[in-house]
Every structure is written in C-alpha cells, then in structure tokens.
Amino acid sequence: MSTFVLLTITGLGLGAMYFLVASGLSLIYGLMGVLNFAHGAFITFGAYAAWWLSTKVSGSFEVQLLVGAAFGLLVGAALAALVELVFIRPLYRRPVEQVLVTVGLALSLGALVYGIWGADAKFFPVPDWMLDTTTILGANIPNDRFVEIAVAIVVLLGLVGLLRFTRVGLVIRAGVENRAMVTALGIDVRKAFTLVFALGGSLAALAGVLSGVYYGTIDPARGTSLLIFAFIVVVIGGFGSIGGSAVAAVAVGLVQQYANFYVADWLDWSGAGDVAVMLLLASVLLLRPEGLAPKVAH
C-alpha cells in the first residue's frame, strides 16, 4: 500500500511537469497550427538560466531558487516571444515550413546549450525541506512532489481563468475555434499568437525549473526528454484543450510510474515504464484517433 501511494504521488509530480510543457504546446498548436519542436529549448534554457542566476545570488536555497525561477521564467518567455516574432511570424500560412524552422531551431539551440554549459549535469539549488519526506498512509514522500503538484494546479486554474474570464482568453478561445472568423471581425490575432508563445515559453521554463528540483540536477538533454512525453500528452489529450492536457498528463505520469515499478520488476527490464506510455498512446489512437477531447480551448 505504501509503495502504491508513493508511486501515485510521484506519478502526479511527473505528470505536473508534463502538463506545464504540454499546455503551452497544446495552446500554440490549437491557436496557430504550429508544432513547436523548439519548446524543448525553452525548457532547457529556462532551467539553465535559473541555475545560472541562482549561483550568483547569495542567500538560502529558498531565495536562490525563487530568484532563479523568476529569472528562468522571464528568459523562457523572452526566448519564445523572440522565436515567434523573428522565425514563425514571417511564415504564417506555411505550416510545414513553420515546423521545419522549429526543428532547425531545436537543433541549433540544443547544440548551443552543450557549447555554453557542457554535457555534465549541474546541481540545482533545492531547499532542505523539499528533500525531507512527509509520511502519508505509511509512505515516505519527498516534499518536492507536493510543490510540483501545487504549482501545476495553480497554473491549471490560472490558465482556465485566463481563457474563461478575460478578453485575451476570449480571443484565444475564438482563435482556436476559427481563426479566419476572428480575423474577419477585425481583431489582430497576431498579438494573441505572440502572447501564447511567450506564455508557453514561460510555462516550459517553469517545467525546466521544477525538473531541476525533482531530479536535483539539470542537464542539456532535459528539454528533449520532457518534450517527447509532452507531445504524447498533447496527442492523448487532444490539441488545444487545457483540460484534456491535464487529464492526459496525469494518466501518462501514473502509467509511467506504475509500469516502471510493477512491470519492470516482473520483466526485469527498466524500460517498461516509458514503453508502457508509448503503448498507452497507441491504444488511445486506435480507440479515439482525435484524442480524449476534441479541439476546443477550455
């Protein structure tokens, strides 16, 4: 029982990170039709920016982490806005070229991280209380899991609030539904494009920072490995749906953790968890090719 509780909460913690990456990807795709491969670079750059500033700040780990995280989020948002303005905007209405450009950027930016910071993992500032454990139903759970889950819930509520109750959110929702109509009504959707990109970039950076807390280190391959699971979450959850992303992220995180423990033990093979996620994806596609939720931003 205690193992099951530990696996569940760890799975939710992982799912929280997948959700942060996937929600941005999903909104960007839903609104603009751009599959953003450069999203992994936003994760990595955000995490490294947070780490870099945290080594320059003196103070407790809490202060370092908060200051670093704030800076990382800014860097993620700025990088994403820059990518949208310089590379994506000139290629509107050419979706294949847009994907190709984000692929090129993903390769270039990924190589740049290796060039600047090297291939070795960097230790991330993690406050002591996050490394301590809390006992729930006999399971000793590291406290950082609760931080990740709490952050994801706050982001989920914030995104839903933004989409439901603000004018920008209305434009985004309408844009996901029918971009041509919104433009015809005289609303400049391009502003919403840049905003959604910057928002997605900062959420990706936040996921990068949280992954630093979760693993205790960051490395240049972090962005790519999170991105692939986030892609799976987006496909399972349905493009453009925040709620779908949240449900799918939880499902993927839990399946990965359970399979990693129970099936891996049984098969004596450590890849079982990740491969189980791919099987989940294949079965969802066979049963519901359009994903869990149809394309509506809510």
Partner 1 sequence: MRARTYVVPLAALALLAVVPLLSFDVPRLLPGPLDSPGTLQLLALCLVFAGVALSYDVLFGFTGLLSFGHALYFALGVYVPAIALTKWEWGLPQALLLLAAVALVVPLVLGAVSLRVGGIAFAMVTLAFAQAGNIVVQTNPRNLTGGDEGFSLNVDPLPDFLIGVVNTKYLYWLALGYAVLVFLVARAAIGSSAGHVWRAIRDNERRVEVLGLRPYPYKLISFVLACFLASWGGFMWLLLIGVTPEVTAATLTLTLLVMVVLGGAGTRFGAMVGGFAYTLLDYRLRSLAGEERIQDLPDVFRVPLSEPLFLLGALFVAVVFFVPGGLASLPARLRLLVWRRRAEEAS
Long-range contacts of 85-88 (CB under 8 A, 24+ apart): 85/194, 88/32, 88/34, 88/193, 88/197
Q: If you write DSSP's letter for every residue of 9-71 in order, what string do you get?
A: HHHHHHHHHHHHHHHHHHHHHHHH----TTHHHHHHHHHHHHHHHHHH--S-HHHHHHHHHHH
Q: How far is the CB of 282 from partner 1 (least distance, A)?
A: 5
Instruction: Measure the CA–CA gap between 194 and 175, rounded to whole angstroms.
Output: 13
Q: How far is the CB of 33 from partner 1 (least distance, A)?
A: 8
- Which residue lies nearer to partner 1 by CB, 192 or 252? 252
Q: How far is the CB of 97 from partner 1 (least distance, A)?
A: 5
- Which residue lies nearer to partner 1 by CB, 105 or 250? 105
What residues have CB less than 8 Å from 38, skipping those under 6 apart? 83, 102, 105, 106, 109
Given a contact cutoff of 8 angstroms between Cβ atoms, the answer to whether 6 and 142 are in contact is no
- Which residue lies nearer to partner 1 by CB, 127 or 273? 273
Q: How far is the CB of 228 from partner 1 (least distance, A)?
A: 5
- Which residue lies nearer to partner 1 by CB, 132 or 265? 265
Strand duo 139-142 + 133-136: pairing: antiparallel
Given a contact cutoff of 8 angstroms between Cβ atoms, the answer to whether 21 and 80 are in contact is no
Residues binding partner 1 (CB under 8 A)? 29, 33, 35, 37, 87, 90-91, 96-97, 99-101, 103-112, 114-116, 224, 228, 231-232, 234-235, 239, 267, 269-271, 274-275, 277-278, 281-282, 285-286, 289, 291
Q: How many residues does the chain have?
A: 298
- Which residue lies nearer to partner 1 by CB, 41 or 147? 41
Q: How far is the CB of 21 from partner 1 (least distance, A)?
A: 13
- Which residue lies nearer to partner 1 by CB, 11 or 30? 30
Q: How far is the CB of 140 from partner 1 (least distance, A)?
A: 27
